[in-house]
Amino acid sequence: MADNRRLGVSEVSGVTVIQFNDRKILDDSQIQEIGQEFTALVEQEQKKNILLNFSHVEFLSSSALGKLINLEKQVKAHSGKLRMSNIRPEIMEVFAITKLNKLFDIRDDVPDALAAFNS
């Protein structure tokens, strides 16, 4: 598995679970690194079913939203599924305002999101 500085990566029942290492995802270089790590997981390591666990994330910039949209496109291009969980209400509000809550499959917690891969 690639060396991930910004992401904690584990496998649970065939799903790649990604935990963000940073509480605040704000600066451009940090967001670029996250984007590169996403791409490596999907393109090089051929990960298809991905769960993003936002339990540690307190702040997310609009640039980071762009990386999430790109990840969704990459995963779908490889016939995979992307789920998200544990998104704080403040961040969820941004997803709702930008209508990204319609694009992404967002679940309350990790067990619910993992179960959604089998449905």
Beta bridge partners of 9: 18
Are the CB atoms for 21 and 57 separated by under 8 Å?
no
Confidence band of 1 (pLDDT split at 50, 70, 90): very low
- What residue ranges define each of the domains in the chain, with the CATH number in brackets? 7-116 (3.30.750.24)
pLDDT single digits (tens) 11-70: 999 999 999 999 999 999 999 999 999 999 999 999 999 999 999 999 999 999 999 999
Calpha distance 38→6 (Å, rounded): 10
Confidence band of 119 (pLDDT split at 50, 70, 90): confident
